[in-house]
Amino acid sequence: MKFSIDRSKFINQTSNVQRAISTKTTIPILTGMKLDLSESGLTITGSNSDISITSFISKDDADNELKIESTGSIVLPARFFNEIIKKLPGDNFELEVLSNNQTLIKSGVSEFTINGLDAVNYPHLPDVETDNQLVLPTDVFKEVVNQTVIAVSTQESRPVLTGVNFLITSEGLTAVATDSHRLSQRKIDITSDEDYNLIIPGKSLTELVRTISDSVKEISMSISENQVLFSFDNIMFYSRLLDGRYPETDRLIPDESNTRLTFDSSNLLASVERASLLSHESRNNVIKLEIKAVDKKATLYGNSPEVGTVEEVLECENLEGDDLEISFNPDYLKDALRSFGSNTTIEMSFTSPLHPFTLRPVENRDNFVQLITPVRTF
């Protein structure tokens, strides 16, 4: 195996593949990056068992400056290999696999020899049928992921809650995540003739969104029994699916409310950030919202016995319903508010001090909801 290639184009692709490679894997060969050179181009693969990413560099694209002398494959230690390529002096570099999987890398006046592994022992990528694909606009897909992944659980005690549940039917796509303290649900008008109910790990979705560049307009999604494949540009991103049944979350979202407030999301976020400055210093990290309906007044309170107290009257665009005092974790509310974007008018709806409350955008209110469970303070 021997080729030369433009160094910056190669680094662009390996940086994506590197996201799938972990140093903590129990399978030693997965700490490596697989290079597979065919007559048509170079395929680079990284995997950590949960996600696998492949990137293809075509020989036909003149910008890549890929010159192939002989085909073959090799697995190279990812961390060392990447650092070497980044620090090479020239614009191009040459790679050649010698005997015993030793690999020679040359660029300008530099020459490295590193020990590789036989690519035959590298695990095969999952088989995912690509005949029946869903095509999603990239900006919408990124938005859905960013709005829901904030609510996935970090506790492995209930594995299904560490993922986002995607329900795809002829009526549309619903994405929902909950860690049992909060919930985020987003609906979009993307339909499928075939019904799907899948749970994609939150960590996979976070890495996927980081991998998609701003120039990508569409992303294709293919689903098999225990894997999902996302394809875009020359990249294929595989993720395992979580086993198990996701809880029925619709019944958790209240249909009615007794108290409603309307806010500008940016103004409320700034107020909550100020109130949480002190709450973070206390052990329970709780702030309190007090609503006086008659006075049309809502006040936030933060308290730390060691530091002091904060009190701030909120700027409400509208306030109606019953008086209420409710306490909650400010970090959950900050995450929820950020997911709406800046300067969005949102409605907070409450039923009682001990029941979850919801946040929805005033426009498009049926398609996006954040739910937060209050904290009992007595």
282 with 310, same domain: the answer is: yes
φ/ψ of residue 327, rounded to 5: -120, 145
313 with 234, same domain: the answer is: no
Domain annotation covers residue 299 = yes
Torsion of CA 345, 369, 195, 130, to 10 degrees: 60
235 with 262, same domain: the answer is: no
Domain annotation covers residue 329 = yes
Q: Which structural domain, as residue segments, surrounds residue 160?
A: 134-250
Neighbours of 377 (CB within 10 A): 12
Q: How many domains does the chain have?
A: 3
Domain containing residue 360: CATH number: 3.70.10.10
Domain boundary among 232, 250, 268: 250
* pLDDT tens track, the chain, 378 positions: 999 999 999 999 999 999 999 888 888 999 999 999 999 999 999 999 899 999 999 999 999 999 999 999 999 999 999 999 999 999 999 999 999 999 999 999 999 999 999 999 999 998 888 777 899 999 999 999 999 999 999 988 899 999 999 999 999 999 999 999 999 999 999 988 889 999 999 999 999 999 999 899 999 999 998 999 999 999 999 999 999 999 999 889 998 999 999 999 999 999 999 988 888 777 778 999 999 988 899 999 988 888 888 999 998 999 999 999 999 999 999 999 999 998 899 999 999 999 999 999 998 888 999 999 999 875
43 with 112, same domain: the answer is: yes
Domain boundary among 184, 215, 250: 250
| pLDDT for residue 132 | 78
Strand partners, 341: none
Contact 234, 57 (CB under 8 A): yes
Contact 195, 168 (CB under 8 A): yes
Instruction: Compute and round to an integer the Cα radius of gyration of the chain.
Output: 25
| pLDDT for residue 378 | 55
Hey, what long-range contacts does 161-165 have (CB within 8 A, 24 or more apart)?
Answer: 161/247, 162/201, 162/202, 162/203, 162/242, 163/199, 163/200, 163/201, 163/202, 163/241, 163/242, 164/199, 164/200, 164/202, 164/205, 165/197, 165/198, 165/199, 165/246, 165/249
Domain containing residue 112: CATH number: 3.10.150.10
Q: Residue 15 is which amino acid?
A: S
Contact 76, 1 (CB under 8 A): no
244 with 266, same domain: the answer is: no
92 with 144, same domain: the answer is: no
Domain annotation covers residue 178 = yes
Domain annotation covers residue 127 = no
240 with 164, same domain: the answer is: yes
Domain annotation covers residue 34 = yes
115 with 140, same domain: the answer is: no
Report the distance separating Cα 360 and Cα 339, nearest Å.
Answer: 11
Quick one: DSSP state of residue 252? Answer: G
φ/ψ of residue 142, rounded to 5: -60, -40
Contact 327, 374 (CB under 8 A): yes
Burial class of 339 by CB neighbour count within 10 A (0 to 12, 13 to 18, 19+) = buried
Query: For residue 308, what are its two tokens?
Result: 């002091």
**DSSP three-state, residue 230:** strand
Domain boundary among 208, 229, 250: 250
**DSSP three-state, residue 114:** strand
207 with 308, same domain: the answer is: no
Strand partners, 299: 290, 313
290 with 324, same domain: the answer is: yes
Nearest residue to 120 via CA among 243, 185, 36, 240: 36
Kindly write down the DSSP assignment for every residue of 191-225, as one continuous string: --SS-EEEEEEHHHHHHHHHHS-TT--EEEEEE-S
6 with 117, same domain: the answer is: yes
Domain annotation covers residue 50 = yes
Domain annotation covers residue 378 = no
241 with 258, same domain: the answer is: no
* pLDDT tens figures, 226-264: 999 999 999 999 999 999 999 999 889 998 999 999 999
